[in-house]
Amino acid sequence: MKKLLGVLMVTLAVLAAGCDKLASKTPSFNNTDVTGLDYAKGFSLTDHTGKPRTLQDFKGKLVVLFFGYTQCPDVCPTTMAEMAAVLKELGPSAKDVQVLFVTLDPERDTRELLAAYVPAFHPSFIGLYGDKEATARTAKEFKVFYAKAPSGDDPKNYTVDHTAGSYVFDREGKLRLFVRHGQGPGPLTHDLRQLL
């Protein structure tokens, strides 16, 4: 009986150690872990070269998806610059990350404008657009708020208030993180390394 009890104790100790190792392999993220949320399933938009795109096109890479617009005075260019800094910090692993910029201003953000704006931050960045309906559908799927805010008397002068966060998808195309705006590149670099 003592022998059996001893074997049982050793077995329990080994199992407990194994559980500790499994627990220590669970990623610890700086950003909000949204793994398992049943939204942000995908999109069907056109990229800044005119090619139709879906999330499946980027399977095998981590995808960082940001919604904005080219005439944004602060949040969008800051976020895009931070994304470029993240890729620089990742070094050679940056090839396994795809940054996508989805415009919320399809009336003004033409393919040509996106082609000039988005890759100016990093040559690998891709701008995505759709018509008014596709933009609304995609924003709704991702729970992204956006609304025109008039700026002066001319109806062509407006800003777009919008959700200022990004989404990260893993290599399998599953939603993993919501990235808050304005943290600097460090926290996201850390999280992407965990997912890589």
Q: d(Cα 80, Cα 75) in Å, to the nearest integer?
A: 9
User: At a CB cut-off of 8 Å and minimum separation 6, what does 8 contact?
Assistant: none
Pick from 190, 182, 112, 100: nearest CA to 142: 100
Q: Is 122 among the annotated ligand-binding positions?
A: no
Helical (H) or strand (E) element with 103: strand 97-103
Q: d(Cα 141, Cα 43) in Å, to the nearest integer?
A: 8
Q: Is 72 among the annotated ligand-binding positions?
A: yes
Q: d(Cα 141, Cα 130) in Å, to the nearest integer?
A: 14
Sign of the alpha-carbon torsion through 164, 75, 129, 42: negative
Side chain identity at residue 131, one-letter code: D
Which residues carry a binding-site annotation for Cu cation? 72, 76, 162
Which residues carry a binding-site annotation? 72, 76, 162
